[in-house]
């Protein structure tokens, strides 16, 4: 791999959500602030929506790592579960013994008892679901019923949903109006702009241990931002491939040629973005040729 070639201590552009690489950009900090305020005020449902690859799982892990100690968390990364499976998964996360064996009725009672027990100890319980758009419809209703568990002053269970925009489409249906009304706090993640992409690339290289001269020039970062449409996951894919190609060719600086090759090798890049990049690159080549031609005319 290219680690030694570039003097890196670890891979800077892996797709695994690693909080060590977290860059405090405006949209992510705002999302965490919204969640924090909602949890402190005891709201039932909080929702964070973002397109594929915009950093929802990274935010989810950041929240799990930094949530205040008085919160007890139940984390479900894959919520494609029917209502019974969902209840049992929550029970397991709350430390309820034999959660997979007891009857559904007894399980519900034990969950409520456990929530009351934690509340009496001064704890707040938060259920965090990643990829919440995958929840089956009857499980969405079961989730709403979970939040009916409350004291006179506070919900016994708060729910944070991280999801793709498809969840909003589902919640817009009439049958989910009760659940929709209970989501009092929400945040929609946006993609990165060109300046943020440049910061993002340089930050990840720095965290990975890079100490050399600039690898990704400003103009190259701008082109990466354009073709990736500012989606962090796609930025990672392109930068990783460019570093691999540069290593294979013995280069130490990222070029338009390397970016073009990385784009052509990436199926998830929109065709319109590819065409846009190739037009920009072609225009750059034509500009250089025009300058050379003009210089020759002046000499003549």
In this predicted model, what pLDDT tens digit does every residue of 131-169 receive, in sequence order?
Answer: 999 999 999 988 888 888 877 677 899 999 999 999 999
Q: What is the CATH number of domain 192-299?
A: 1.10.8
Written as tens digits, the pLDDT of the chain (300 aa) is 799 999 999 999 999 999 999 999 999 999 999 999 999 988 789 999 999 999 999 999 999 999 999 999 999 998 899 999 999 999 999 999 988 889 988 998 999 999 999 999 999 999 999 999 999 999 998 888 888 887 767 789 999 999 999 999 999 999 999 999 989 899 999 999 999 999 999 999 999 999 999 999 999 999 999 999 999 999 999 999 999 999 999 999 999 999 999 999 998 887 665 555 544 444 444 444 344 334 444 454
Lateral strand order in the sheet of 183-188? 71-76, 124-129, 157-163, 45-49, 183-188
Domain with CATH 3.40.50.300 in the chain: 26-188
26-188: CATH topology: Rossmann fold (3.40.50)
Report how far residue 207's alpha carbon sits from residue 223's, in angstroms, rounded to the nearest whole number.
23
First-to-last C-alpha distance (Å) of the chain: 50
Cα–Cα distance, 294 to 92 (Å, whole number):
74
Q: Tell me where in the chain the CATH 1.10.8 domain(s) lie.
A: 192-299
The 10 Å CB-count burial string (b at 16+, else e) for 67-84 is beeebbebbbeebebebe
pTM: 0.86
């Amino acid at each position: 791999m290219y680690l030694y070639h570039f003097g890196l201590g670890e891979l800077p552009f892996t797709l695994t959500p690693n909080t060590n690489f977290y860059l405090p950009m405006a949209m992510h900090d705002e999302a965490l602030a919204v969640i924090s305020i909602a949890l402190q005020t005891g709201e039932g449902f909080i929702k964070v929506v973002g397109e594929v690859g915009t950093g929802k799982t990274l935010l989810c892990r950041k929240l799990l790592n930094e949530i205040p100690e008085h919160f007890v968390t139940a984390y479900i990364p894959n919520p494609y579960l029917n209502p019974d499976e969902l209840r049992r998964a929550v029970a397991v996360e709350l430390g309820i013994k034999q959660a997979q064996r007891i009857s559904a009725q007894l399980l519900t009672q034990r969950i409520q008892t456990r929530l009351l027990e934690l509340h009496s100890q001064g704890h707040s319980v938060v259920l965090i679901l990643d990829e919440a758009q995958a929840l089956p419809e009857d499980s969405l209703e079961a989730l709403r019923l979970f939040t009916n568990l409350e004291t006179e002053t506070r919900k016994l269970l708060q729910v944070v949903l991280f999801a793709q925009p498809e969840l909003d489409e589902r919640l817009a249906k009439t049958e989910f109006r009760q659940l929709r009304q209970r989501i009092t706090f929400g945040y929609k993640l946006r993609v990165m702009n060109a300046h943020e992409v440049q910061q993002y690339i340089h930050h990840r290289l720095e965290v990975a241990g890079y100490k050399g001269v600039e690898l990704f020039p400003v103009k190259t970062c701008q082109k990466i931002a354009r073709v990736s449409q500012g989606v962090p996951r796609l930025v990672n894919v392109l930068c990783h491939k460019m570093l691999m190609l540069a290593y294979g060719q013995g280069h130490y600086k990222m070029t338009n040629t390397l970016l073009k090759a990385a784009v052509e090798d990436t199926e998830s890049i929109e065709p319109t973005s590819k065409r846009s990049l190739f037009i920009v690159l072609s225009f750059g080549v034509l500009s250089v040729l025009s300058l050379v031609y003009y210089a020759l005319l002046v000499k003549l």
